[in-house]
Amino acid sequence: MRRLLLVAAIGLGAGCQGPDPLLAPAPKRLAAAAPDSFDVLVRSSRGPFVIRARRHWSPLGVDRFHYLVSHRYFDENRFFRVVGGFVAQWGLSGDPAVNRAWEGKSIPDEPVQASNTRGRIAFARGGPNTRTVQLYLNYGDNGRLDTLNTFGFPPIGEVIEGMAAVDSLNFEYGGTRTDRKPGPSQDSIRVAGNAYLARLYPRLDYISTARVTRAWRR
């Protein structure tokens, strides 16, 4: 029998003493296990949507996602890479100091337990064992990502409500699956944050807030 835990959106991390959990993430807290599953309400510039994370799909990935959401990492994140019919990507902070703090804080690769089908979300990476903070959402059925580079991209959850909002994200800077555009430079985002994006890519959509609204533990 599974037990439902209601999680207050207000005050996550409130009252904690010590270093800023985004600028100085403590290894012990980073290693903490997330609930078996939980819902995250994302309020975006295109409307709200809900992500349901499923820990059995990718325990390390879901643990990292839970930490980031719980400490409001994704607030004011831009969807900096949106390729129509393929993926929407986010996760680089608008604050360069936060980007510096998370450099190299990667998690090991895990086997793919669920396919990259429409609406599912996984961590992006640039090579083996490099998942850190960037996520992407599948617009279509991208099964080839399950085995790309032999180890694939394991989904951590999926959109269960509000997919229409995700479908409407602006893809003018990223193009489409068949006509891609270069879009923003990830290196420039890391160094200059949202100031760079606002100057050169002012019509990017963004996350206002992302909050855990409920969670389940066995």
For the ranges 8-12, 131-135, 187-191, the lowest mean pLDDT is seen at 8-12
**178-189 per-position pLDDT tens digit:** 999 999 999 999
Which pLDDT does position 10 carry in this prediction? 34
Which pLDDT does position 151 carry in this prediction? 79
**Residue 211 neighbours by CB distance under 10 Å:** 19
- 94 within a domain of the structure (yes/no): yes
Q: Structurally, how many domains does the chain consist of?
A: 1
Distance CA 103, CA 81 (A): 20
Which pLDDT does position 197 carry in this prediction? 98
Which pLDDT does position 9 carry in this prediction? 38
Q: What is the pTM of this model?
A: 0.91
- 132 within a domain of the structure (yes/no): yes
Which pLDDT does position 17 carry in this prediction? 60
Identify the CATH number of the domain in which residue 120 sits. 2.40.100.10
Mean pLDDT of 124-144: 96
- 52 within a domain of the structure (yes/no): yes
Distance CA 83, CA 208 (A): 21
**Higher-scoring residue by pLDDT: 117, 149:** 117
**59-68 per-position pLDDT tens digit:** 999 999 999 9
- 111 within a domain of the structure (yes/no): yes
Domain that holds residue 174: 32-217
- 68 within a domain of the structure (yes/no): yes
Distance CA 205, CA 137 (A): 14
Mean pLDDT of 195-216: 98
- 25 within a domain of the structure (yes/no): no
Residues 6+ positions from 62 with CB-CB distance below 8 Å: 34, 53, 54, 55, 156, 157
- 24 within a domain of the structure (yes/no): no
- 165 within a domain of the structure (yes/no): yes
Alpha-helical regions (H) of the chain: 27-30, 59-70, 96-102, 163-167, 186-200
Mean pLDDT of 83-94: 98
Which pLDDT does position 190 carry in this prediction? 98
